[in-house]
Amino acid sequence: METVFTPFASLGGGALIGLGAVLLMLGLGRILGATGIMSGIVFAEGRDELSWRVAMVVGMVLAPGLIFVATGRMPDLDVPVSPLMIVVGGVIVGLGASLGSGCTSGHGVCGLSRLSLRSIVAVPTFMVTAAVTVYLSRHVFGV
């Protein structure tokens, strides 16, 4: 499935993602990592650690609705894979991100910005394995 190259929307959206990360550091002094936020809710360690994460998730989930109100359409979301692949991929994402202590937001955005050595190793690792996986599934197995 072809998609349209969107350099300006992607750069602007990326800048807002960064602004979110900066605002969280400014207000609460925390790294914005989606894996950490999710696992902090699933395995909550007390009310203080739970409440700000839940508030953040609520804000995040409201975003597509706000965009719909402002523009009259939902953000594009095309899922060209089967439910089985979503489940298998999801379990591997959860396992990998918790073992590796971060994902695209924690290691990618925040870790690289902090010049964290671990993130500088983690990000190329997951970018390469993702590209190899997409190559294999699309061009070798033809999923």
Q: What's the half-sphere exposure (Cβ side, CA atoms, 13 Å) at 118?
A: 9
**Spatial contact of 25 and 31, defined as CB atoms under 8 Å apart:** yes
Number of residues that bind another protein (CB under 8 A): 117
The residues in 97-126 that bind another protein, with binding defined as CB under 8 A, are 97-114, 116-119, 121-123, 125-126
Residue 89 beta carbon to another protein: minimum distance, rounded to whole angstroms: 3
Min dist. Cβ of residue 72 to another protein (A): 14
Of 41-80, which residues contact another protein (CB under 8 A)? 42-43, 51-53, 55-67, 74-80
Tokens, residue 9: 């929307």
Distance CA 111, CA 50 (A): 22
Assign 73 to helix, strand or coil.
coil
Q: How far is the CB of 46 from another protein (least distance, A)?
A: 14
